[in-house]
Chain A
Amino acid sequence: MRRGLVLALLAFAACRATLPDTKLAALDAVLAAKDDNDPRLDTAFEGLSESAKRSFRARFADYPREYFNERGTIVYVLGRNMKTPADWAFFRAVVAEPPCRSLADCAKAGEAGGPGDEVTLAYPALVALKRAQREFSTGGSMQAAARTVVREALKSEAPAVRRLAERGPGR
């Protein structure tokens, strides 16, 4: 009886160690669908656990920097779950990323492009900054933390990030 109980508990622990992260799987499915208007972006990622948020931040780091829309979408989803200092620290890090120099390769200067490219190049940072600015426009309770993101954005070498920080709240 005792041995059986121990074996059962060990089996439970082993399953827990390999239990799929369902929220991360859902995120990957949304990104793979490539539908920016997917309603799941507003409904499926509410109340994320700290563990889920850590896995989302890791997924963000998995993507090469040139995956602007994917990385920005992850920032958007995390922005709906801002609760802890770690959440805001991550957003500061996103905003502080060095500017991406071209759509094809962030490390290399590129050729002329089209309307809006400047926004795309800085998209994840702009999404993070927008979330920080919303803390002020909605009278949120984490304005001190949000202000650190705005101040980081004011120092950004990406012109689109600096411009948005200049004209929005939280300076």
Chain B
Amino acid sequence: MRNSLLLLAVLLAAPARAEQSELFDGTSGKKLEFPAVTFTPSPAPKDVDPRPAQTKQSGSDLFYFSPEEAAAAKKKFGVAAFRDPAGELPFDKDVPKEIQAQMLGDLAFIKTVSGSGASPLHRQIFGAVDGSVYEQFFKSRVSGVGMSRCGDGNAVACVMPFWNPTKMWLTQNYIRFSHPQVSRLMVVFHEARHTESGHGNWGHASCPTPFLGPDGKEMRSIWTGAELAGEAACDKTPLGSYGSSAIMLKNIANHCETCNGKVRQDASLYADDQLGRVTDAKAHQQMVEDFKL
């Protein structure tokens, strides 16, 4: 009897799971696997200039177009009217089903957003903090979705006014990388703003020289280490692509009543990051006051 009790004591003292190290060294045995998605970039439309006067991409930051390209696109295509947002979002045939599903899933989430407050800038750009408002904003601006490399690199999406000022192009990175959902939505709403040819497609401004962060250090591209000073990777208005997407996310962070804590926190994290790209002092301050920071 005593031996049985001793054996039982030993068994009950054993942990239910093997003990794991309290800390870790960040390594893992598992190898990252990318989804098996292949695609062929959509060919340029037949009537488009086969050699559009594209701004030479510096490769230091994200894909961008010049004011001259935006003006040329406006001259060629005219000012695109906002389309009727009713109906399905048209996808080109070469957009893989997985990417279509992800985008539709992301847009379905944004449609569930609901909140009872909105900042002044949010009301000016979008209206209420409401999923139907965001859906209308997006679908009235984006006439269709195709596949492109968007200048290569890690870009998730882009708008190329010289090809089609209202079309959004996605890359395989839309599903390839492990971005929080808010991050993907921020990118597509940032790009949707670039379809507005009546506003010069809200092209980016050159970042100031020097371009210092809050730590007093030169802001550099996270991917290449190149300095962002002088690059077309900033905005001087709260209404541009960086500003509008930051305002949208900050309002989701502050007012969304149908979002969980993770989504609200993610929205705040990405909004604050985007705020750093609005470099005009007056515009920056306007957004800070708008966010009630």
A115 x B186 contact (CB < 8 A): yes
Which B residues touch A66, using CB under 8 A? 32, 177-178
B36 interface hit (Cβ, 8 Å): no
Residues of A within 8 A of B274 (CB): 115-116
* A64 contacts B260, C-beta separation under 8 Å: no
A-B contact pairs, 16 of them (CB 8 A): A9-B4, A10-B8, A37-B263, A38-B260, A51-B17, A55-B17, A64-B30, A70-B178, A72-B180, A97-B26, A112-B153, A117-B222, A159-B215, A159-B219, A163-B213, A164-B269
Please determine whether A112 and B62 come into contact, CB atoms closer than 8 angstroms. Answer: yes
Point out the residue from B20, B31, B181, B273 that lies within 8 Å of A118, measured CB to CB: B273
* Cα(A51)–Cα(B15), bound, Å: 9
Decide: A90 near B23, CB < 8 A? Known: A103-B154, A111-B223: yes
Residues of B within 8 A of A78 (CB): none
- B16 close to A (CB within 8 Å): yes
Contact status A116-B270, CB under 8 Å: yes
The contact string, 1 if C-beta is below 8 Å from chain B, for chain A 127-171, is 100100000000000000000000000000001101110110000
In the complex with contacts A17-B16, A64-B32, A90-B22, A41-B222 CB distance below 8 A: no
Contacts of B258 in A (CB 8 A): 37
SS class of chain A's interface: helix, strand, loop or mixed?
Answer: helix
Of A10, A38, A120, which one neighbours B179 at CB under 8 angstroms?
A120
Q: Which residue of B lies closest to A21 (CB)?
A: B17
Give residues of chain A (24-70) contacting chain B, Cβ–Cβ below 8 Å.
35-39, 41-42, 51, 54-55, 57-58, 60-70
B186 and A116 within 8 A (CB): yes
B242: nearest chain-A partner, CB-CB? A115
* Residues 1 to 44 of chain B near chain A (Cβ within 8 Å): 1, 4, 7-8, 11-12, 14-17, 19-24, 26, 28, 30-32
Kindly state the separation between the CA atoms of A98 and B30 in the bound complex, as whole angstroms: 19
User: Looking at chain B, what size class is its interface with the partner chain?
Assistant: 35 or more
User: A160: which B residues are within 8 A, CB to CB?
Assistant: 222, 273
Specify which chain A residues have a CB less than 8 angstroms from the CB of B269 in the assembled complex: 119, 123, 126, 130, 164
In the complex, whether B221 has a CB less than 8 A from a CB of chain A is yes
In the complex, what residue of chain B is closest to A160 when comparing beta carbons? B273
Are B177 and A120 in contact, CB atoms less than 8 angstroms apart? yes
Q: In the bound complex, do residue B20 and residue A58 qualify as a contact, i.e. CB atoms below 8 Å apart?
A: yes
Find out whether the CB atom of B12 lies under 8 angstroms from the CB atom of A41: no
B167 in contact (CB, < 8 A): no
A116→B11 contact, CB < 8 A: no
A to B contact number (C-beta, < 8 Å): 213
* Cross-chain contact of B187 among A37, A109, A116 (Cβ < 8 A): A116
Partner of B152, one of A39, A111, A119: A111
Residue contact B263 to A36, C-beta cutoff 8 Å: yes
Produce 1/0 per residue, B165-192, CB < 8 A to A.
0000000010011111111001100100
Residue of chain B at shortest CB distance from A110: B223
* Complexed CA–CA distance, A117 and B155 (Å): 9
Name the CB-closest residue of B to A111.
B153
A41 touches B260 (CB 8 A): yes
**Contact pick for B154, options A51, A54, A117, CB 8 Å:** A117
| Contact digits for B199-219, partner A, Cβ 8 Å, 1 yes 0 no | 000000000000001110101
Q: Does B156 contact A (CB under 8 A)?
A: yes
Q: How far is the CA of A36 from the CA of B258 in the complex (A)?
A: 12
Within the complex, the shortest CB–CB distance from B149 to chain A, in Å, comes to: 11
CA distance A56 to B207 in the complex (A): 42
Q: Is the CB of B28 within 8 A of A118?
A: no
A-B pairs with lowest CB-CB distance, top 7: A113-B154, A13-B11, A111-B153, A58-B20, A61-B24, A112-B153, A36-B181
Query: Contacts of B23 on A, CB cut-off 8 Å?
Result: 89-90, 93
Give Cα A41 to B176, complex, Å: 24
Cross-chain contact A159 with B270 (CB below 8 angstroms):
no
Q: Give the complex CA separation of A9 and B276 in angstroms.
A: 63
Q: List residues of chain A with CB within 8 A of the CB of B190.
A: 115
**Contact status B213-A115, CB under 8 Å:** no
Instruction: Give every chain A residue within 8 A of B11 (Cβ-Cβ).
Output: 10, 13-14, 17
